[in-house]
Homo-oligomer: A and B are copies of this chain.
Amino acid sequence: MNTVVDTRERILTTARELFHGRSYADVGIKEICDLAKVQKGSFYHFFPSKQDLAMAVIDDMAEDWAHGFVAEAFDRNLPPMERLDYMIDAAYYWQKAAKDIEGRMPGCLFGNLALEVSTRDEVLRAKLNAVFQKASSQFHETLDEAIEQGQIAPLDAQATSQAMLAFLEGIILLAKTRNDPEVIRTLGPAIKTLRVELPMEN
């Protein structure tokens, strides 16, 4: 294995796990280096600052999401509204697996970071906003298809897709606060009832 890639990967994986399980401010570079068995000099070679590291962690997680459970849930071969059920299921099993291992439900790394850093780091805020925009575009496509196929009545697909993403983040937030992934399974299916109506024509 390429040692350079390996070192960078080790830092990334360690940081992602710690940020996700605790918080951004709570985890120091020294701790990451110690756990990843990397010298500080080497760390700064790859990541000039903690912010650079966070940017890479977000990219890494977004990449995994896009090719992992989001790709599976938003499979074009599934009937559009069924994709939403898959997505809720995937979120539930993901959080349940994490809790089974750690004893604590970690929630959504993007949501966690967004609430923690948005008021004080404009670069990270913009990055997280872009991740959410991309995620809501998946909902948007799904809704467009569902309308086209006559499975749901026409609605404001742009706004409804954002409302659905907000709901997903909200149920994960509530589930994390209760430390109970079942909240996602109980409340999740209501995502399909959300509707922002089209503006009325005059």
Contacts and interface: CB of A to CB of B under 8 A. Distances in A.
B177 A173 contact: no
A115 B173 contact: yes
Contacts of A166: 167, 170-171, 173-174, 187
Contacts of A195: 190, 193
A159 B117 CA distance: 31
A177 B128 contact: yes
Contacts of A118: 104-105, 107, 176-177, 179
Nearest to A162: B187
Interface string A5-36: 00000000000000001110110000000000
Interface residues of A, number: 49
> Interface of chain A, helix or strand or loop or mixed?
helix
A65 to B, nearest CB: 16
Interface string A61-85: 0000000000000000000000000
Contact of A21 (B119, B183, B186): B119
Copies of this polypeptide in the complex: 2
A111 interface: yes
A174 B179 contact: no
Interface in A171-202: 171, 173-174, 176-179, 183, 186-187, 189-190, 193-196
A163 B187 contact: yes
A114 interface: yes
Of A104, A173, A179, the most chain B CB neighbours within 10 A belong to: A173
B190 A111 contact: no
A190 B179 contact: no
Contact of A22 (B119, B159, B186): B119
Contacts of A49: none
